[in-house]
Amino acid sequence: MFALLSQTAQAKLDIQIVEGVAGAIPIAIVPLRWEATTPPPLVQPDTVISADLYASGLFQPMEAADMFAQPGRGEDIRFASWQALKNDYILVGRITGDGIDGYEAAYELYDIHTQERLLAQSLPVRPGDLRYAAHRIADAVYERITGQPGAFATRIAYITAIGVGDNIEYKLMVADADGFGPQAIAKSPEPLLSPAWSPDGNKIAYVSFEKGNSAIYIQDILSGSRQLASSFRGINGAPAFSPDGKTLAVSLSKSGNSEIYLHPLGTQQFTRLTNHWGIDTEPVWDPSGRYIYFTSDRAGRPQIYRILATGGSPERVTWEGQYNARANISANGKQLAVVHGNQNRYRIAVHNLENNRLIVVSNGILDESPSFAPNGSMILYASKDEGKGVLFAVSVDGRVRQRLILSEGEVREPAWSPVIR
């Protein structure tokens, strides 16, 4: 496992903006003045900040080559000149420190039109964490301007399949939200499925067929240790951590039919939650831990139901469309992302739990595996592009869309991490 974690030359996910918001916010991310005693990194923090904001589809950062000056402090900004260049906001700052004990990133955000200082913060940076610090700065800028928390300093998990025929190798990968720094934390010649993050972002539960039958494992990302959670005869699938991280909801067919079970971690207990002749699968917890949403065909076609985590009678949630499955719930508990099917076309839709409205946000033919960003602004999902498995990220209103392409092989089964402190 140490060898796997040390692989830094993994295939990287490249992000392309497919659709953006008309009239994206113009902003100048001035190169942060390098005042540290060490040589600057090859990729400067301001480059990462600009790329993050551009990838959101809501911002249009100015090219550094077009800047007439590069101030490092607010008092050095000539606002009239920057306004003439049609910018709405400007970020300036500097990096100090010796690299051994880390760095200090001081930055200021200004509204160019009012000359109001919107942010003034100093961020301690541990050695080797400059890129992460840049993501955190991008998050702060995004939140201050849009009013929504950013999700740039998070991670994504996904499955890659590289090779053909009997020579396909499957890997469970973890990378930064911008696709940087991919690491393989598990690999197998047999399929890997359904990665699910623990609430603290330190573990991932997933399904593996490495021993022929499906089994659920929990992988510790930092230590590389792995524990077997479930390997009953038949189906062991769709693991989901409870909000407190103490229980897994899983789909098992050990009774002869696919049902939802709860498994308190550290025990051998599996408590059956559903009991129906239909197929019950794909459980997901609501943020309060009170309800579990799941897919069932008990009414004839797959739809989303919910049940109290303490048991009881399930209630149907989705009614629009012939097919709704693979639910994922937003962090505020107000929206479900689902695979919505009609007439053999499967797309990602957002179901509002407060008013029961459903809107389709993707435009593929076979879109699957939706996963909300922790701030609820975007949904990551898998699809096909020119016959190849790729990932897309789409805003919850469908206006912004990104394509994430693997340099080799196919990518599928994405899962967006919680906010990692």
What proportion of the chain, given as a percentage, has pLDDT over 70?
96
The pLDDT assigned to 8 comes to 40
- Adjacent-strand bridge partners of 16: 403
Sheet holding 236-241, edge to edge: 236-241, 247-252, 259-264, 271-272
Q: Per residue in 226-236, pLDDT tens?
A: 999 999 999 99
The pLDDT assigned to 9 comes to 43
Half-sphere exposure of 194 (CA within 13 A, CB side): 26
Q: What is the 3-state secondary structure (H, E, C) of 310-361?
A: CCCCCEECCCCCCEEEEEEECCCCCEEEEEEEECCEEEEEEEECCCCCEEEC
Please give the biggest Cα pair distance in the chain: 72
Is the confidence at residue 85, as pLDDT, over 70?
Answer: yes
The rounded mean pLDDT for the chain is 92
The pLDDT assigned to 7 comes to 38
pLDDT band at 44 (very low <50, low <70, confident <90, very high): very high
Residue 338: name the closest of 307, 309, 302 by CA. Answer: 302
Helix 130-146 and helix 45-55, axial crossing angle in degrees, nearest 10: 40
Q: Which two tokens stand for residue 197?
A: 């993050």
The pLDDT assigned to 19 comes to 73
d(CA 375, CA 146): 12
Domain boundaries, the chain: 23-146, 155-416
d(CA 165, CA 90): 52
pLDDT band at 207 (very low <50, low <70, confident <90, very high): very high
Task: Give mean pLDDT, residues 239-262.
Answer: 96
Residue 90: name the closest of 68, 118, 56 by CA. Answer: 118
Burial of 225 (0-12, 13-18, 19+ CB in 10 A): exposed
The pLDDT assigned to 10 comes to 53
3-state secondary structure of 27: strand
In the CATH scheme, what architecture does the domain 155-416 have? Answer: 6 Propeller (2.120)
Are 347 and 364 within 8 A, CB to CB?
Answer: yes
Counted residue by residue, the chain has a size of 421
pLDDT band at 2 (very low <50, low <70, confident <90, very high): very low
The pLDDT assigned to 35 comes to 95
pLDDT band at 23 (very low <50, low <70, confident <90, very high): confident
Choices 3.90.1150.10, 3.40.50.1000, 3.50.50.60, 3.40.50.10070: CATH for 23-146: 3.40.50.10070
Task: Give mean pLDDT, residues 180-203.
Answer: 94
pTM of the predicted model, to two decimals? 0.91
Is the confidence at residue 364, as pLDDT, over 50?
Answer: yes
pLDDT band at 388 (very low <50, low <70, confident <90, very high): confident
Q: Per residue in 149-178, pLDDT tens?
A: 999 999 999 999 998 888 899 999 999 998
Query: Got the DSSP string for 273-310?
Result: ----SS-EEEEEE-TTSSEEEEEE-TTSS-EEEEEETT
Task: Give mean pLDDT, residues 256-270.
Answer: 96
